[in-house]
Amino acid sequence: MTPRLDSLQDVRHDLLDLHRALVEAERRNYERGRGRLPDRDFLEALINDPALGWLSALTALIVRLDELLEEGSPEPASEREHCVAQIRKLLKPAAGATEFHRKYAEALQQSPDVVVAHGKAMRALERAKAL
């Protein structure tokens, strides 16, 4: 794997950690009014409940990054750069810009785990930009 692709693997890893922290924070909020849910039921809610749909923006970019990192992917470097730029834009604070940005800002205020994961993801994005 080239240094550039190694750097993108780091971005992917840190985005997965961020996604996990967001899902865990949302689960706490979701269950606050509903009581504890079995994992299967929460997964179904995560997929189908519009209240949790805001997470799909990040999920979709992680999937796109996975596609770009696939062995033998014919995608040009410019496509990888575009994906990283989209991720950076999504994670950049933007007061009330989209539902994702509003919910993400709330999660950053409420969960130290999300703050730590956000910092790691942003550092990985900076390293990817530097190459």
pLDDT along the chain (131 residues), means of 10: 74 98 97 94 96 96 92 77 93 83 95 98 89 54
CB atoms within 10 A of CB 85: 12
Q: Residue 3's pLDDT is what?
A: 45
What pTM was computed for the model? Answer: 0.90
In angstroms, rounded to a whole number, what is the distance separating the alpha carbons of residues 117 and 74? 30
Read off the DSSP letter of residue 71.
Answer: T
